[in-house]
Amino acid sequence: MASFEKRKDGRWRAFVARGGVRVSKVLPTRQAAKDWAARKEYEVLNERPEGETATFGATLERYAREVTPRKRGARWEHLRLMRFQKDPISRLKLRDLKPAHLSKWRDARLREVTPGTVNREMSLLSGVLTVARREWGLIESNPISDVRKPSKPPPRDRLATPAEMDALKISAGDDLANKTARAFHAFSFAVETAMRAGEIVGLSWDRVDLQSRVCTLPMTKNGTARAVPLSIEAVRLLEALPKMEPVFGLNSSQLESLWRKLRRRAGVEGLTFHDSRHMAITRLAQKIDVLDLARMVGHRNISQLLAYYNASAAEIAKRLD
């Protein structure tokens, strides 16, 4: 219903309350106020809900604009959301998006990338659709909740052999003024500490205490700070570096590029930088208690360590005696 109120200055304020919408406007005459109110009531009564008109692509764009910037890893997520908008599925109206569309998209992606990548992308899409349902009121149910995720691949079980480590060391060289040498040095440091590549390249000297043999990570992948104890070898690796900031004088893209180059030159196949974490946890599990290990590497759920820890039955048998 519309109502009108004459103001002291002679103008009129029109009030419209329809369909949960409450708006008002001041106009010069009563007739102008009535005309405006009639138009506004018509718009409210005939307006189609955003969920009926918005495309899936527009919803992805809104999520990238309003939600993604508040997250750690925002750059990765933004790139994925932009890629989704190029897919034909993004042109569908959000109200028309069905599990069958998302299943077809999943199967097409599985022909391009690994099941692990598809699982991560499905989790992101589920997050978008959950916000669209709960917070924006654009849909009544999340269609991806009825779509089966690909089976998780078995965890990586790739450890560098001593021969491969020797080949990588020779390929990198000993001159730590050289970035390629520092890339291998960073890998060796990761094997000692189980630190992730991003944590290593972001390490600054003010976070390193060589006396107490601890380096402090103010923010990690889990969103919390972590103190990492350093072995004697880890301290030696740090002391061998030329003094620069950050500690290893590399950024993430440089380390990634240099590692690929170093691995190719050494003739080492399939070894990723992240495999250093697997190597470190497998080795550290033989030295320290599992609770201390979880704390050191930043795992809140101890079962997560099973993805990295892979001591053989023969090795476990030796420790039983």
Active-site residues: which are they? Answer: 196, 221, 299, 308
**Cα separations in angstroms, 224 against 43, 69, 202, 217, 299:** 49, 18, 15, 9, 11
Which of 122, 74, 76 is CA-nearest to residue 102?
122
> How many CB atoms within 10 Å of residue 218?
10
Q: Angle 162-172/179-193 helices, nearest 10 degrees?
A: 150
Phi-psi region of 14 (alpha: psi -120 to 50; beta: other; left: phi over 0): beta
Taking CB atoms within 8 Å and a gap of at least 24, the contacts of 17-26 are: 18/44, 18/45, 19/44, 19/45
What gap in Å lies between CA 227 and CA 208, rounded to an integer? 10
What gap in Å lies between CA 187 and CA 168, rounded to an integer? 10
Contacts of residue 150, Cβ cutoff 8 Å, sequence gap at least 6: 106, 110, 115, 118, 119
